Chains A and B, each alone.
Chain A
């Protein structure tokens, strides 16, 4: 299993080369690869002795491409949110870049004739977008319902891949860790907005902070349950948590 920081950096570099499209990067910068998700994907895939090296490389690359495509589309602004003079082109390119990365994942897997994996990733994308719709239209929700949806959106892709590869042993810990990472970003956004509502103990912000504290404590205990075959990931996660 390879999830050292150096390995992650090298895989990231390779994927960035695959995605490289100068005109897009002129306006959108390099696509953002979520390293925490990449570490989980690499761990699961590198542990598959039945996969050839080329399959491992393609599975990792295409899983990341799908995630980047979804994330890029998530950054498309509503028309009224964008300043027509400056923001129209980047917004248009976010749409097109996401579509381009989606085309690439299909292309790379069809090159190795892996029709099943194409199907698995397509199903994941379908379900993630259905859940995004659920979240978008969620009006009255409990914090638990909210967390459940965020988890499904955040971990949906890895969940499908791990079930397909018959190794879900990391899912419990990894999904919690990725949820915590996501919550951290959302708490940061709310703090930056300096909403006075944040002071209210029943506010969404306070609930998120409470959940974050509870989950980060329980995660520290869960890390020990990671099976030996994923010992390097366990070490990696321990170091990430201790550096937090």
Chain B
């Protein structure tokens, strides 16, 4: 089963959000319009809007506010992607040329800034102080996470704690915030809003860990980039951290990555094969499962509702994700 089937009943809400997203990014400039429309049309899982809507349904569902939050969060996510592609010098995203590839870094910077500004214009039509305190704090944390990701590249001595803090900022916080804001604008109690925040945080952690595992265990056709690409870019992820507990493996990595640009596909394949012969992948899945178990646990006490069951199903789906 595919993830979207889990929340098929949200189709009507998601269609409304999709329409609002298209309206939100209409720009006067032809190229800007073309760039942002192409980004939207490239698709994406719209996982943040899904969490906003589901959390909203658990409270007194306010369609207008939920829509605005969902649109803003997706726009923030999109703006981040456009700028990330400049940072990573990425040629393709979801199989299509990135904004920076098609129009250059300068236009990518303008496009990302434009989209973020639209996101904040949209969300500030909600006059709820709590919404802005939560979201603004998340935005700052996400930026810090991105800076630390660059800082920690090729740092072979980083700890598990460093990694977890990084993926928290990189992925988990925006999902946690999606859940919490959906709950807040639907008038849920602080206790339940916080539970949903915790749910989102744990789901986000698990999701990112699995993404990091798949970078080694999946293939170029599925990933849209070569297996082991994260490591090649200098990102030390959980499987590598576990595998580096073996001092010989750590040393061989350190030695070979003195000149990462010279590493061949065959050498990368060897590293991956070595990784697969260790318990690193299994242990990574175990940690991911621990986060999923926590996510499910935090939903206890939330009244029974179709949306709650869907949140549970999403957690279970993420645990089984192998591509």
- Which of A's residues lie within 8 Å of B, judged by CB? 21, 23-24, 69-70, 73-74, 76-79, 88-89, 91-93, 95-100, 102-104, 106-107, 109-111, 113, 115-116, 118-119, 121-123, 125-126, 129-130, 132-134, 136-137
Interface pairs A-B: 6 shortest CB-CB: A122-B120, A110-B132, A126-B117, A119-B124, A103-B139, A125-B117
Are B140's CB and A137's CB within 8 A?
A: no
**Contacts known (A110-B133, A130-B28, A136-B107); A96 close to B146, Cβ less than 8 A:** yes
Contacts of A97 in B (CB 8 A): 147
**Contacts known (A76-B106, A133-B107); A115 close to B124, Cβ less than 8 A:** yes
Are A129's CB and B140's CB within 8 A?
A: no
Are A130's CB and B114's CB within 8 A?
A: yes
**Contacts known (A73-B113, A93-B150); A103 close to B142, Cβ less than 8 A:** yes
Contacts of A134 in B (CB 8 A): 29
Contacts of A109 in B (CB 8 A): 132, 136
Contacts of B147 in A (CB 8 A): 21, 23-24, 93, 96-97, 100
Interface residues of B in 116-168 (CB under 8 A from A): 116-118, 120-121, 124-125, 127, 129, 132-133, 135-137, 139-140, 142-144, 146-148, 150-151
- Select A129's contact among B117, B120, B135, B146, beta carbons within 8 Å: B117
Q: Distance (Å) between the CB of B262 and the closest chain A CB? A: 13
- Give B87's nearest chain A residue, CB to CB: A92
- Select A137's contact among B31, B113, B117, B142, beta carbons within 8 Å: B31
**Contacts known (A92-B87, A129-B113); A118 close to B107, Cβ less than 8 A:** no
Q: Distance (Å) between the CB of B222 and the closest chain A CB? A: 27
Complex CA–CA separation, A239 to B137 (angstroms): 42
Q: Distance (Å) between the CB of B159 and the closest chain A CB? A: 18
Complex CA–CA separation, A118 to B148 (angstroms): 26
Are A130's CB and B29's CB within 8 A?
A: yes
Are A115's CB and B32's CB within 8 A?
A: no
**Contacts known (A107-B137, A122-B121); A96 close to B143, Cβ less than 8 A:** yes
- Select B151's contact among A23, A73, A137, beta carbons within 8 Å: A23
**Contacts known (A89-B150, A100-B144, A103-B142); A78 close to B109, Cβ less than 8 A:** no
Contacts of A130 in B (CB 8 A): 27-29, 32, 114
**Contacts known (A78-B106, A126-B117); A103 close to B124, Cβ less than 8 A:** no
Complex CA–CA separation, A72 to B29 (angstroms): 22
Task: Classify chain B's interface size.
Answer: 35 or more
Sample of 6 A–B contacts (CB below 8 Å): A78-B104, A89-B150, A93-B147, A104-B140, A106-B136, A119-B121
Are A106's CB and B151's CB within 8 A?
A: no
Contacts of B114 in A (CB 8 A): 125-126, 129-130, 133
Q: Distance (Å) between the CB of B165 and the closest chain A CB? A: 15
Contacts of B60 in A (CB 8 A): none
Q: Distance (Å) between the CB of A146 and the closest chain B CB? A: 17
Complex CA–CA separation, A98 to B147 (angstroms): 11
- Give B143's nearest chain A residue, CB to CB: A100
Q: Distance (Å) between the CB of A27 and the closest chain B CB? A: 10
Q: Distance (Å) between the CB of A234 and the closest chain B CB? A: 33
- Give B110's nearest chain A residue, CB to CB: A129
Are B133's CB and A137's CB within 8 A?
A: no
Tell me whether B83 is interfacial, beta carbon within 8 Å.
yes
Q: Distance (Å) between the CB of A110 and the closest chain B CB? A: 4
Among B83, B111, B142, chain A packs the most CB atoms within 10 A around the CB of B83
Complex CA–CA separation, A73 to B143 (angstroms): 14
Are B113's CB and A70's CB within 8 A?
A: yes
Q: Distance (Å) between the CB of A143 and the closest chain B CB? A: 21
Complex CA–CA separation, A126 to B147 (angstroms): 24
Contacts of B133 in A (CB 8 A): 110-111, 113
